[in-house]
């Protein structure tokens, strides 16, 4: 799966971090990955999918590798 974060859409609610610790936050509380990338290729993980579904601003996007 490919997971993309859109920090400019983040409202710093912290919900994504409750689903998976891969989500981190910058000094303003906006979502980021630890390595400051905005797109990561990962093994499929239901917690990441749940985080994307739960995000109130759609700041997390999940794509399959086939699309």
> pLDDT tens digits, residue range 16-48?
999 999 999 999 989 999 888 999 999 999 999
Nearest to 49 by CA among 12, 13, 16: 16
What Å distances lie between residue 45 and 8, 10, 28, 61, CA to CA?
Answer: 24, 21, 27, 13
**What whole-number distance in Å separates Cα of residue 46 and Cα of residue 13?**
20
DSSP H/E element including 25: strand 23-25
**What is the residue whose two structure tokens read 């509380």?**
29
pTM above 0.85, yes or no: yes
Domains in the chain with CATH codes: 2-63 (3.30.70.20)
């Amino acid at each position: 799966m490919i997971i993309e974060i859109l920090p400019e859409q983040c409202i710093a609610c912290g919900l994504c971090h409750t689903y998976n610790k891969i989500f981190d936050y910058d000094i303003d509380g906006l979502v980021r990955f630890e390595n400051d990338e905005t797109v990561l290729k990962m093994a499929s993980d239901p917690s990441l999918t749940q985080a994307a579904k739960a995000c109130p601003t759609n700041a997390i996007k999940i794509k399959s590798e086939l699309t």
